Structure 1
Amino acid sequence: MKDNKKTYWKGIEQLSNDPEFVKKAESEFPEFLPTGNGEGEGSTRRDFLKLMGFGVAAVSLAACEAPVRKAIPYVNKPVDVDPGIPNYYASTYASGGDYCSIVVKTREGRPIKIEGNKLSKITQGGTSAQVDASVLSLYDNERLRGPKAGDKNTDWETLDKEVMTKLGSIAAQGGAIRIVSNTVLSPTTKKVISDFQAKYPTTEHVAYDPISSEGMLAANESSFGKRAIPSYDFSKADVIVSFTADFLGTWISPIEFTKQYSKTRKLNDGKKTMSRHYQFESNLSLTGSNADYRTMIKPSDEGKAVAALYNAVAAKTGGSSVSGAGKYPNIDKAAADLLKAKGKSIVVSGSNNEGVQTLVNGINSMLSNYGKTIDLDKHANFRQGNASAMDKFITDAKGGQVAAVVFYNCNPVYNHTRGGELKAALAKVSLKVSTSDRPDETAVACDYIAPDHHYLESWNDAEPKKGSYSLAQPTITPIFKTRQAQDSFLTWSGASKDYYTYLRDTWRSTMPVSGSFDMYWDKALYNGVVEVESEEQQTFEFAGDVNSAARSATSMNAADLELAVYTKVGIGDGTQANNPWLQEMPDPITKATWDNYLTVSQSWATANGVKAFEGKANMVNLTAGGKTVKLPVVIQPGQAPGTVGLAVGYGRTNAGKVADGRGVDAYPILVGGAAKVEVLDEQYQVAQTQTHQTYMGRETVIQESVLSKYQKDPSAGRYHPHVSTWQEESGETSPGNLSLWKGHKYKNHHWGLAIDLNSCTGCSACHVACQSENNIPVVGRDEVIMRRDMHWMRIDRYYSSASVDNYEAMEVAAENPEVTFQPMMCQHCNNAPCETVCPVAATTHSTEGLNQMTYNRCIGTRYCANNCPYKVRRFNWFKYHDNSQFEDVNTAMSNDLGKMVLNPDVTVRSRGVMEKCSLCVQRIQYGKLEAKKEGRRPNDGDINTACASACPADAIVFGDMNDKESRIYKMLKIEDTEKADYIIEKEIGEPRAYHVLEEIGVKPNVTYLTKIRNKEESEA
């Protein structure tokens, strides 16, 4: 890569070449002893002897420690359950306004894995980290076992009698009754609530969203006369401009948007164009990290920047300018590109300011985007919350004007900015009921808790978009004595039907059924989704008052330091904060786990004397919105100068052992604004993985170029290992071609992966899918700090900038670097370095190209990990699944209930063995056996790895490289060249294809496609 002028780095400590970082990186393995208390440096002779005892005696006996489990046959076997055979059920994930159509894999009646439903026109088979992890929440030991009256257990008959008596009395006296919920996507549930209102006429339904979209709803109502979120189609956009909208990570419908966006970023022989993406934001978001042009702005600048873009577009389309606009880099360039792509562009904003959203509507209208890339007719239902109605409810409750309230699966005491006021006001409400599945912050303040089923135990429907429906069906008998919330509402309404019957009857009467309804219903359940086309097509004309909007949009006062509150990809709004898979998932940007922190820029850190190494930095007091919280800082490249960032979803007090007490609650200061930060002497170590498994200066890891160069030369950015002059002249073999192996001839299958760096957004859906599929344990914060994370698949996040040769250049590089994400798993090398050093042949090469692990043969020498250039092998220090030492962080999996999520097709590893990616060999074997039973070879697509299946960007392609009809064969343009009797070499013809660390000659079966950015050559 001698022609590449860039410097690539994973973290500030690597960029600055921090001596402590170099010391730990060069030691290859952290030599801390397994104390399990988060501290381990300074080992003694006694420690050494303990380690030897652990490494030799305990590890050698690891196989003997595996528990004996007896198989108990069925007395009466269920008709639809066959031991060893999975069942699949189409269902729906709907949490507030978050939505995904899914397929649930069950084994012996236990849901164990969630996949995307490819029949959905919205999510198109994609998932997210939160969707994948939601199966573990089903087995959360913190869920309530049954109804409660106050802090005491009760039964459903008693609860129903008391609640109905009080509701009837309150309604008879004209007392106000409120049902409070997040966005409800289910039309049938809304009908149930209407029946409840008919029974108790003083009832009002109040919906709110923790992250409100009120500004957009209000702007669309004033601009077009329709209070709704439009449907966006990023796949039709040649130019995308986003102001703080993290549409690939957390904004509105990220799974859907990622699927669309990735289609505009793919390149091949038939497509040599890609979208151009501009991002304006304060915090470095997942979307900003994928942008071609990213401009840092403060929160107070957003309205001014939108106004500037409005004026730039208006000047070329005959519109009048608005006041209050500022001057910002890339605004004119973005406007010029938008004008070239009229009708094929999208402008979006994550602001909750109605004025900002009205200006955005005006820009899209001038660009003729409505009806093309933006559809208000087939609107989305993802965010329906009415912020003003929720504020009125809290005010009324404080004034004693609310007599009864039912909190339907929501937690406003925690996730509303006025949650503290509401908690105090509930003392004035005579009847308070929660349907939460656990005694959360709101439920513990209620008189009754009527716990709802988990969604995987429930019947339901959803209408995520106008005319698009999906069904949810139970995939397991309810584990506890819970009851579906809709059944509770029906019971309290005096209805005689259960919700399943009610749901069927509603569909029978409202859906356009021709023929037998039973057949229609069965097909709908089987497919999971139903599309109902609307005959009427509405058109909308923009009628917003842009001058008034501009005054509102640009009215935010600037401050020297401003707080930008954001939502994390993994933890989200905090609903699933007690899920250890999500807590331990490294954040795609900071690579931090288990912690909440304040992100600051490198320039701010330098000015305030803050220095970080592997997450260890100063604690600070943050004051904003009249609140003060204490938390650690993380130096985050790309953080806008004059801003600090804080995530919501933490600071839980009644979520469960995993979440309680972690981080600080950002909801009371959700509005952000002016901030003050006081640096304390106290230090804290954030559990980060960003510089674990470093390559220490090796090249050819990331290869990239720009679109204009690619269009001239498809191999642009493709750097080949250096060959010296004497080798070229003499014809000598390059060092990379030397091998201890004779080679491998794959006569049957040859499995491989192809990963398109242009499509990968870093969303981490693949990461959690891998953990779910392969029984990968959670180890906890202390173990992550000691670099013992067990993830088989990691998403390496690389920053890149101009070459750095001094401290001043380092500071500049850290301000706003480019970002590349690279999924990294076992590369399944044909010349595998691990296989040559294992003294017991625990790691071997299969006849189908897989690097295999025989766990009960491994004695834990770790030679293989030492010899692995990709650092993808994991040593299992403890019995993480069983050890009570990790119960606090692994409560959902360290008990018999949590173990129900384990995949029986994958060995649960005992301590003392190495483990790593197997390319989901259990799926490969199952697919081959199914094809064999049908007397055929597996077809392309019959077998897929968990990571490739989950990827909403279709960035990972798995297949048989011997199958000339497979996607991977065609994608890589493979040609088989026979080198000798014992080997067939795969010649890859795709110009963008490369292998990581190609120069060392290990010949992986995982291939990457170069990253191409759509920016000018002079700016690359």
Structure 2
Amino acid sequence: MKTYWRSIEELANPKELRREEVREEAKQKSMLMKGDKDLNSASRRDFLKTFGFSIAAASIVASCKRPIDKAIPYLVKPDEVNPGTANYYASSYFEGNEYGSIIVKVRDGRPIKIEGNALSSISQGGTSARIQASVLNLYDDARFKVPSKSGSEITWEKADEEIMAQLSILKSQGGKVVLLSSTIISPSTREIIRKFAEKQTNTEWIQYDPVSASGILEANKKSFGSAFIPDYRFKQAKVVVSFGADFLGTWLSTVEYTKDYTSARQLQNGGKEMLRHYQFESGMTLSGSNADVRFPIKPSEEGAIVLALYNAVAKAKGGQILSGAQSSVDITELAKDLLENEKQSIVISGSNDVNIQLLVNGINQLLGNYGQTIGLENHLLTKQGIDQDTDRLLSDLKAGNVKALLVWNANPVYDHPKGKEFAEAIKKTGLSVSFSERPDETTALCQYVLPESNLLESWNDLEPKSGIFSLVQPVIAPIFNSRQVQSTLLKWIGADLNYRDYIKSFWKENQFLKQKNTSDFRQFWNTSLQNGIFETVQETKLSYSPEGLSQAASQIKPAVAGLEVAIYESIAIGNGKLANNPWLQELPDPVAKISWDNFAAVPVAYATENGLKNEDVVLVNGMELPVFVQPGQAKDTISVALGYGRQIAGKVGDKTGSNLYPFVGIENGTRQYFMTSAKVEKVPGKVFELAISQTHYSMEGREIVRETSLDEYIKNPVSGNEKEAEDKAKSVTLYDAPVYNGHHWGMAVDLNSCTGCGNCAIACQAENNVQVIGKEQVRNRRIMHWIRIDRYYSENPENPKVSFQPVMCQHCGNAPCENVCPVAATPHSEEGLNQMAYNRCVGTKYCVNNCPYKVRRFNWFQYVKNEKFDFASNSDLGRMVLNPDVTVRSRGVVEKCSMCVQRIQEKKQLAKLEGRAIADGEIKTACSQSCPGNAIVFGDLENPESRISKLFQDKRNYHLLGELHTLPSVGYLTKVRNTNA
């Protein structure tokens, strides 16, 4: 049997680690026996950080005293509104350069859940953890509530009057005005900005991305004559080679790429081919952990390896060999695999170096990938910022050439390498205006703050890819006195038109003319609004030119000696804009399984040589960071996440982690997200506690993850899953076989399709009112997520294989938890669901102890009784996100996955009213509906024609701990590794 391990400590001495875990568990129980003393010792700040606006605040208050709800009936009820019945509205999400076409669930006027729009060719019904958690941003009490000037409240009319007057003076004097924004993908907004610049002459518009794709844009401008990001079609590829691009985690269009990537690796319905994936990277990323072949490299090695690959392909194709730095990495077999799959491969790089991107373009051209697996028609538009433009702006600000700075959804004081210089320059600017929705480091320095409305309160249109459009519509009236920036700019140019009407007019003049399905604009508009998307067919006239290729090769530098620091985006909070979202802060990193902090991930060998262990503290170029020993971290490298260290974000995000943006380098006009020749030294005797969740539970050496190779699978589809037949043959029980009344609800998880992204955990949290508990309680093993993603390593710790496994309540037919409950609080339904009667549970936790899967959560604390904490800051706002279909749990009860029983009941009632049977796939749990990898399937096992029944008959299907004969209703499909690579 293959050995799997969760941490270096477990690999080195599993018995000792288990003893430590038992001692820790006993310590926690002892503390609880003495009362909530550990809670009393927590700081007021930590409490407010965690519970400032999270749903935990709502459940705390609800558990203490039931509030009085006043229901005021409609005088004239809108036709589409039925109290107690959800409405769904198509809309779009775009934040932090991440796009998703979405469906918003609204209950009684409150947006409470976000799903993916299956009609979109980009998101294809999937979401990410960040998109799922974005509904909570609407109810963030840290949002600006009124416009202000120099920190004092001001009316919109007065602010408009004063700013327009100053702009008029600047226009007459020829004073330069700069609008600094994040990437804008709204075609109507771009037109409004153009009109504003026409009226306010001497205006410059600069787009800025904290984690930029400037290198790709500028390389493509040289190669194709146009600065664009191509359309990567992973679904059509047989071989993918990635150089540091975490395309499954944070790079460009991750939901789209995950959908296509996993569909090209599924082996259902007789499939016997899988996309092969090679990954070169420094830190262990989500993409690297899913790769078939992974090469740990230093960031400075990448250029020479890309050049070597180019020359190997060029040599085979009879092309020109380019001179440049030499690489010690053997890429012979990789080049051979690419050449055998011409026009069916993709080579990508996450580097922001123009020279590397030019070489990548050359490789794809030699392999014939353009027009095949890499489309040139639908350009990705979510990152348009050019680094040199922002650097030039800083120079102009410092020189006093910019008289007015308008900042929209950009925060360079925090996330630009020269943020301190931006701060000083903004202070000296004559007129500074921020349109920010919430406080940030840049807004704090601006004279005027004109708060922008939240996405869910707004109208907008988006064009994430050229020719692919989507609409944004408000699903709630503005909660605070905010206003959309587009409305502000329209007012400032004297246009007497609200933004909604402007969009309609713009679409009538533009998008309406691109279709031939209807001649009635009203019908076209209503259909587009209802569907959320409108897609057109694009043509391209772009052609590749090798211009600059030889020069690019000559600029490639050899690898640098010494320690290097790779700087990357966090899976959870991205570039830092979402730092004040507690759902995302508590989401464990998919690989490290750490929440609430960033850290210095160090290689196993480096840790051994330097006497480092988890939670030690090191100085990295003078910045203190906690140590985490990360298997797979490349030799002589350290990885640290961006997005942390916010100083002005809100109760959750303030001073959480360390800010690495000042360490981002600038070379040849583009930002480089790594440091060479880093100086690292240990801080003697100092310890920084990390909230690590993966080691909370142990599987006691049992066969949990099952896997095989593609070669073996083709020979024998049962390969790797032989034990399932053994378990069934040995099954002996004293219990009668369970009988199901009409339905038997179950779930199947394809381990080939689960990338470990964590989206399902946040989707479940939003759907089921799962509490945020904070860093200290995560450390105390009390994390409340109903679904966890277990991560296991195997083989060489310097470059291990990684397996992900989502684990939720298995809804066992012979559930061990049911027999031991003294008050029958965990009964079994006739439809196969293991239920929880919260008002019956008295908190004995016998069920928790008896569950072999460790999926039951006990709600430890009722924080409201602790008078040390100030609850004045906990308003009714946070409670608005709660799903009224799911009970808010109070202290002292056990909770766990219910397979979204509220959704099951809703569809059953609908089918009954309509006099029909429930269709297969009609009911979707929160996790299965939103999964970007299509890894989770829910359905009725009593229906032999259902998709889940067929998956359960798949020879790869097995049950977790099947030897215990618990008869789980959840099945897993054995992971198949592509060893053809």
TM-score, length-normalised on structure 1? Answer: 0.90
Q: Deviations over 1:811-843 (max 9, x none)?
A: xx3211000110000000111000011111100
Greater mean alpha carbon deviation, residues 125-134 or residues 493-502: 493-502
> Which amino acid is 1:570 matched to?
A
| Correspondences of 1:648-667 after superposition (within 5 Å) | 648-667=642-661
Asked if the contact 1:62–1:911 (Cα under 8 Å) also holds between the matched residues in 2, the reply is: no
Corresponding letter in the other structure for 1:1008: Y
Equivalent pair of 1:780/1:886 in contact (CA under 8 Å): no
SS at match of 1:822: strand
Contact 1:434 1:449 in 2 (8 A): yes
Matching residue's letter, 1:680? V
2:916 to 903, 915, 936: 936
* Conserved 8 A contact 1:147-1:451: yes
Give yes or no for the alignment of 1:8 onto 2:10.
no
Among residues 595, 598, 606, which one is paired with 1:596 in the alignment? Answer: 598
The match for 1:575 is 577
Q: Does 1:22 align with 2:24?
A: no
2:640 is matched with which residue? Answer: 646
Aligned counterparts, 1:762-911, within 5 A: 762-801=756-795, 813-879=796-862, 894-911=874-891
**Paired position in structure 1 for 2:378:** 378
> Using a 3 Å threshold, how does the CA distance of structure 1 residues 77 and 71 change in structure 2: closer, same or farther?
farther
In the alignment, is the contact (CA less than 8 A) between 1:882 and 1:895 conserved in 2? no
Q: Counterpart of 1:753?
A: 747
Q: Quick check: 1:365–1:542 contact (8 Å CA) kept in 2?
A: no
The letter of the residue matching 2:817 is C
Partner of 1:738: 732
Q: Is the 8 A contact 2:343 2:368 kept in 1?
A: yes
Q: 1:398 to 1:78 in 2, by over 3 A?
A: farther
- Once the two structures are superposed, residues 15-48 of structure 1 have per-residue CA deviations (whole angstroms, 9 ceiling, x without a partner) of 122666322434666425247676899xxxxxxx
Find the residue that maps to 1:235 and give its secondary structure.
helix
Task: Tell whether the 8 Å contact from 1:722 to 1:999 is kept in structure 2 after alignment.
Answer: no
Offset at residue 268 of structure 1 (A): 2.3
Residue 515 of structure 1 corresponds to which residue in structure 2? 519
Q: CA deviation at 1:970?
A: 2.4
The C-alpha deviation readout for 1:659-710, integer Å capped at 9, x for no partner, is 001111111112322211110120111001011122122x220000110111
- Rate the CA distance shift 1:18–1:610 in 2: closer, same or farther, 3 A: farther
1:34-77 residue CA offsets vs partner (Å, 9 max, x unmatched): 47676899xxxxxxxxxxxxxxxxxxx99984525435241436
Distance of 1:496 and 1:872 partners within structure 2: 57
Shift of 1:270: 2.8
Mapping of residues 425-436 of structure 1, within 5 Å:
425-436=425-436
Indicate how the Cα distance of structure 1 residues 723 and 261 shifts in structure 2: closer, same or farther if over 3 A, else same: closer
In 1, the alpha carbon distance for the partners of 2:640 and 2:769 equals: 32
2-structure distance, mates of 1:255, 1:880: 37
Q: Cα gap change, 1:836/1:480 in structure 2, threshold over 3 Å: closer, same or farther? A: same
Please give the per-residue CA displacement for 1:189-216, whole angstroms capped at 9, x wherever unaligned.
1111111111101111000111111111
Aligned to 2:898: 918
Looking at structure 1, the residues matched to 115 and 198 of structure 2 have their Cα atoms a distance apart, in angstroms, of 39
Question: What is the aligned partner in structure 1 of residue 697 from structure 2?
Answer: 693
Deviation at 1:887, TM superposition (A): 8.0
Question: In structure 1, what is the Cα distance between the partners aligned to 2:868 and 2:854?
Answer: 27
Distance 1:329 1:963 in 2: 53
Aligned to 1:952: 932
Query: Does the Cα contact within 8 Å between 1:700 and 1:719 map onto a contact in 2?
Result: no
Asked whether the equivalents of residues 182 and 410 of structure 1 are also in contact (C-alpha less than 8 Å), the reply is yes
Contact map agreement 2:512 2:524 (CA 8 A) in 1: no
Alignment of structure 1 residues 979-990 onto 2, 5 Å: 989-990=953-954
Q: How far 1:84 moved relative to its partner?
A: 1.1
Mapping for residues 670-689 of structure 1, pairs under 5 Å: 670-671=664-665, 672-674=674-676, 675-681=678-684, 682-689=686-693
Q: 1:357 to 1:882 in 2, by over 3 A?
A: farther
Is the 2:64–2:864 contact (alpha carbons within 8 Å) kept by the matching residues of 1? no
The answer on whether the counterparts of 2:40 and 2:868 sit within 8 Å (CA) in structure 1 is no
| 1:501 aligned partner | 501
Partner of 1:618: 616
Alignment partner of 1:527 out of 526, 531, 537: 531
Alpha-carbon distance in structure 2 between the residues aligned to 1:568 and 1:275: 26
Cα contact 1:947–1:956 (8 A) shared by 2: yes
Q: CA RMSD in A?
A: 2.1
SS at match of 2:764: helix
- Aligned residue number for residue 189 of structure 1: 189
Q: What residue is the counterpart of 1:481 in the other structure?
A: 481
**3-state secondary structure, aligned to 1:924:** helix
1:678 alignment partner AA: E
Matching residue's letter, 1:938: I
In structure 1, the partner of 2:202 is 202
CA–CA distance in structure 2, aligned partners of residues 260 and 191 of structure 1: 33
Once the two structures are TM-superposed, the CA of residue 494 in structure 1 deviates from its matched residue by 1.6
**Match for 2:917: what amino acid?**
R
* Separation (CA, whole Å) in 2 of partners of 1:886 and 1:621: 34
The residue number in structure 1 matching 2:310 is 310
CA contact (8 A) 1:224 1:544 kept: no
Q: Call closer, same or farther: CA 1:537–1:284 in 2, change over 3 Å.
A: same
Q: Deviations over 1:593-642 (max 9, x none)?
A: 10111110111111111122xxxx2111110xxxx311211111111010
2:146, 2:481 within 8 Å by CA — same for their partners in 1?
yes
Q: Which residue of 1 aligns with 2:52?
A: none
2-side partners of 1:13 and 1:87: how far apart? 50
Contact 2:747-2:936 within 8 A present in 1 as well: yes
CA distance in structure 2 between the partners assigned to 1:865 and 1:330 by the alignment: 51
2:883 is paired with a residue whose SS is: coil
Matches within 5 A, 1:15-414: 15-17=11-13, 21-26=17-22, 30-34=28-32, 65=64, 67-76=66-75, 78-79=77-78, 80-329=80-329, 331-414=331-414
In 2, are the aligned partners of 1:778 and 1:880 still within 8 Å (CA)?
no
Kindly indicate whether the alpha-carbon contact (under 8 Å) linking 2:456 and 2:476 is maintained by their aligned counterparts in 1. yes
Q: Conserved in 2, the CA contact under 8 Å of 1:993 and 1:1008?
A: yes
Q: Is the 8 A contact 2:262 2:933 kept in 1?
A: yes
Q: TM-score, normalised by structure 2?
A: 0.94
Check conservation: 1:36, 1:783, Cα contact below 8 A.
no
Give 1:855 deviation, angstroms.
0.4
For residues 14 and 456 of structure 2, what CA distance do their matches in structure 1 show?
Answer: 48
- Alpha-carbon spacing, 1:858–1:62, altered in 2? closer, same or farther (3 Å): farther
Tell me how many residue pairs correspond in the alignment. 944
Query: Does the 8 Å contact 2:613/2:627 carry over to 1?
Result: no
Residue pair 2:325, 2:554 contacting (<8 A) in 1 also: no
Q: Is the 8 A contact 1:25 1:694 kept in 2?
A: no
1:991 aligned partner: 955
Distance 1:884 1:743 in 2: 52
In the aligned structure 1, how far is the partner of 2:65 from the partner of 2:747?
Answer: 33
- Identify the residue that residue 459 of structure 1 maps to in structure 2: 459
SS at match of 1:685: coil
Rounded to whole Å, the distance in 1 between the matches of 2:869 and 2:243 is: 42
Partner letter of residue 1005 of structure 1? S
Q: Are the equivalent residues in 2 in contact too, given 1:239–1:341 (CA < 8 A)?
A: yes
Q: Matched residues in 2 for 1:723 and 1:264: separation?
A: 31
Gaps of 5+ in 2: 42-59, 666-673
Q: Give the deviation of 1:998 after TM superposition.
A: 1.1
Bigger mean CA offset, 631-640 vs 670-679: 670-679
State the partner residue of 1:565. 567
The one-letter amino acid paired with 1:13 is: E
Give distance in 2, aligned partners of 1:82 and 1:676: 63
